[in-house]
């Protein structure tokens, strides 16, 4: 996939999300998410430590209100999911229409109603970070980059373990091909990333 297509796969959804970004928060868990990120506090179960830590970085940005900053994180994660999807589909279809089919697939994901809604408010960052980490971990495992796959899977586990668990069997089935050393390193890195739960 060319750099231009990769940029388009990310930039178009990001700009649309930015235009439709919620100015403050909808009537969901977004106020809690913003306050937890800003104060590095505790969220309701399962705690979401990964997004709390990442959201703390976003909340410290010198732009707009704290609501805008954490909502902007959601938009960035949503556009990241679109870009990763575009690259995955383009890799599956190496023939001429593949790269543009990848961009179309990324945009289809980005503009699906649930993803678009999540990309415009703070609470959506929880689900979009989980989706992004799962997509990246699957890509790493399929590319036989076991340690990276383990690290990303641990991050997904630390973001929303209930959203990650359905993916675990597929990752483990593919990970059987890893050598003992690679599997051990992947497991250690997964536990290190999942240790974000210590923040709770």
Give residue 83's pLDDT. Answer: 96
Confidence of residue 200 (pLDDT cuts 50, 70, 90): low
Residue length, the chain?
Answer: 200
Please state the rounded mean pLDDT for residues 178-200.
85
Arithmetic mean of pLDDT over the chain: 87
Give residue 75's pLDDT. Answer: 96
What's the 3-state SS for the chain? CCHHHHHHHHHHHHHHHHHHCCCCCCCCCHHHHHHHHHHCCCCCCCCCHHHHHHHHHHHCCCCCCHHHHHHHHHHHHHHHHHHHHHHHHHHHCCCCCHHHHHHHHHHHHHCCHHHHHHCCCCCHHHHHHHHHHHHHHHHHHHCCCHHHHHHHHHHHHHHCHHHHHHHHHHHHHHHCCCCHHHHHHHHHHHHHHHHHHHHC
Q: Looking at the predicted structure, is the pLDDT value of residue 53 above 80? A: yes
Give residue 152's pLDDT. Answer: 92
- Of 123 and 94, more confident: 123
Please state the rounded mean pLDDT for residues 132-150.
89
Q: Looking at the predicted structure, is the pLDDT value of residue 165 above 90? A: no
Give residue 73's pLDDT. Answer: 94
Confidence of residue 1 (pLDDT cuts 50, 70, 90): low
Judged by average pLDDT, the poorest of 1-5, 62-66, 115-119 is 1-5
Q: Looking at the predicted structure, is the pLDDT value of residue 74 above 90? A: yes
Give residue 133's pLDDT. Answer: 93
Residue 25 near residue 31, CB atoms below 8 Å: yes
Give residue 128's pLDDT. Answer: 95
Kindly report, residue by residue over 77-91, the tens digit of the pLDDT: 999 999 999 998 988
Kindly report, residue by residue over 142-164, the tens digit of the pLDDT: 888 989 988 999 999 888 888 78
Give residue 94's pLDDT. Answer: 75
Maximum average pLDDT range among 3-12, 31-40, 179-188: 3-12
């Amino acid at each position: 996939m060319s750099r231009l297509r990769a940029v388009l796969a990310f930039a178009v959804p990001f700009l649309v999300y930015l235009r439709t970004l919620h100015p403050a928060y909808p009537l969901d868990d977004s106020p809690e998410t913003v306050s937890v990120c800003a104060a590095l506090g505790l969220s309701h179960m399962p705690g979401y430590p990964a997004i709390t830590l990442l959201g703390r970085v976003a909340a410290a940005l010198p732009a707009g209100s704290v609501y805008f900053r954490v909502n902007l994180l959601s938009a960035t994660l949503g556009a990241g999911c679109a870009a990763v999807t575009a690259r995955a589909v383009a890799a599956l279809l190496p023939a001429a229409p593949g790269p543009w089919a990848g961009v179309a697939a990324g945009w289809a994901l980005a503009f699906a109603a649930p993803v678009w809604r999540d990309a415009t408010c703070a609470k959506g960052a929880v689900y979009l970070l989980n989706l992004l980490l799962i997509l990246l971990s699957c890509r790493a495992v399929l590319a036989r980059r076991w340690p990276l796959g383990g690290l990303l899977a641990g991050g997904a586990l630390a973001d929303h373990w209930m959203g990650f668990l359905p993916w675990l069997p597929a990752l483990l089935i593919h990970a059987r091909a890893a050598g003992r050393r690679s599997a051990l390193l992947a497991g250690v890195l997964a536990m290190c990333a999942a240790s974000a739960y210590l923040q709770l």
